[in-house]
Homo-oligomer: A and B are copies of this chain.
Amino acid sequence: MKKLIVGQSGGPTSVINGTLAGVYYEAKKKGFDKVYGMLNGIEGLLQERIIDLDDYFQDKNNLELLKRTPSSFLGTCRFKLGGFEKNEETYEKIFKILDKHSIDSLIYIGGNDSMDTVESLSDYALLKKKKQNFIGVPKTIDNDLPITDHCPGFGSACKYIATTLREIIQDNNCYGDTKPTIAIVEIMGRHAGWLTASSALAKDETCEGVDAIYLPEIPFNIDTFVKETEELLKKKSSIVIAVSEGIKTEDDQFICELTDNNLLVDSFGHKELSGCAEILSKVLKEKLNVKTRAITLSTLQRAAAHLASKTDLEESYHCGMKGADLAYQGQTGKMVYMSRISNNPYKIKYKVFDDIHKIANIEKKIPLEWIDVDNNYVKEELIDYLKPLIQGEVKQIYKDGLPQHISLKK
């Protein structure tokens, strides 16, 4: 009897359940007799909150629904295990629970912190001669994990952002030259601008695209921003600007945390401001006397499974399969990743990374040479990198006009 347990961790994505589906499918195919799910990641495992995935997914239709369900089917957590020198009790508790259920392998789907958990558990098992092996499978919409060419979950978020921006650009243009209108669209990514950069994908021969892109990789200056927008207004009336939630000044101050200071003293008295789009929208309205609107994509960009990229979903699924394969082989302390062979035709390989500690706590930012600083835009190389990731549409399962999901509660 070989038994596997799988968990999900960190912020959800619209295809993280695709990875879960891949793990389940391949694990059963390879020969695991049981595939368990831990609820709310390691936090739930510690409380022995475990389900048998056969109860949900022996029905193939449910597995198809799972692939199309956003957020983490098993629930997630933000649990830091910490080093085992200081937390041996927690480690022992985990292994006691794994032993109790005769679990051989553990797969953890997540971002930086989750990969750290995988490595720590694996190291501890080797040290203490435990029988279990541990595999990590990456996910994050932020695309800030090193080693892997890109992260499962990122492509679907890009597809949502680019699609939505096309629609916002059409909407914003409805007054044409009769009324200058500026929309500022705030996009996720506190430290890395990958998601915000994907707004550049909106542009093609049928869409003029966004007019400026402000990334956290480049220091942001409000005065310069106002001047640059004023220049844009001389050329066109409908302006759509993409900003990262993480833009900050040269002094490392987040724009979204700006409060009473010389620049903003009259307009803003409140400390807990909602976001940088809101702030910048008010600044432009005041300084340039134009109609402005702040649009914050919020969690929609990580949950819009109805706009998932087929490429991304397939890759997420394959990363899950690869994880199950490695787990079955008994490998441990390793992470699945994707390596790009070529852009055109787009080709990737699924690989195995041995030294997970290198991944935790490193944030992969956009290479500066891919950013067109002078024009507040991104360079062709970055667009070429992004384009393959949003290709293809996932056929949704509609009922009564709405996409169907699956959830634990039902």
Query: What size tier do the contact residues of chain A reach?
Result: 35 or more
Please, what's the 1-or-0 string for A62-93, where 1 marks a CB less than 8 Å from any CB in chain B?
00010001111001110000000000000000
- CB pair B393–A39 under 8 Å, yes or no, is no
- CB pair A295–B299 under 8 Å, yes or no, is yes
Q: Is A330 an interface residue when CB atoms closer than 8 A count as contact? A: no
Give chain B nearest CB distance to A39 CB in angstroms. Answer: 7
- CB pair B75–A12 under 8 Å, yes or no, is no
Contacts of A172 in B (CB 8 A): 71, 299
Please, what's the 1-or-0 string for A48-72, where 1 marks a CB less than 8 Å from any CB in chain B?
0000000000000000010001111
> So how many copies of this chain end up in the complex?
2
Given A206-B410, A294-B274, A300-B164 contact (CB < 8 Å): yes
- CB pair B270–A206 under 8 Å, yes or no, is no
Give chain B nearest CB distance to A187 CB in angstroms. Answer: 13
- CB pair A309–B174 under 8 Å, yes or no, is no
Please, what's the 1-or-0 string for A12-40, where 1 marks a CB less than 8 Å from any CB in chain B?
10100000000000000000000000011
Of the residues B12, B162, B401, contact of A392 by C-beta under 8 Å? B401
Given A39-B176, A75-B175, A400-B391, A306-B307 contact (CB < 8 Å): yes
How long is the Cα–Cα vector from A51 to B159 in the complex, in angstroms? Answer: 34
Give chain B nearest CB distance to A273 CB in angstroms. Answer: 9
- CB pair B407–A207 under 8 Å, yes or no, is yes
Interface of A is mostly: mixed
Q: Is A223 an interface residue when CB atoms closer than 8 A count as contact? A: no
**A residues engaging B (CB < 8 A)?**
12, 14, 39-40, 43-44, 65, 69-72, 75-77, 159, 162-164, 166-168, 170-176, 178, 183, 201-202, 204-208, 267-270, 272, 274, 278, 282, 293-296, 298-300, 302-307, 309, 311, 387, 390-393, 396, 398-407, 409-410
Instruction: Supply 15 further A-B pairs (C-beta < 8 A) apart from A170-B303, A206-B404, A206-B406.
Output: A12-B174, A43-B178, A75-B174, A76-B175, A77-B175, A77-B178, A166-B405, A168-B300, A170-B405, A171-B303, A183-B299, A295-B300, A296-B298, A391-B401, A393-B398
11 contacts between A and B (CB under 8 A): A65-B206, A69-B170, A75-B178, A77-B178, A163-B402, A163-B403, A164-B304, A167-B300, A269-B269, A270-B270, A391-B400
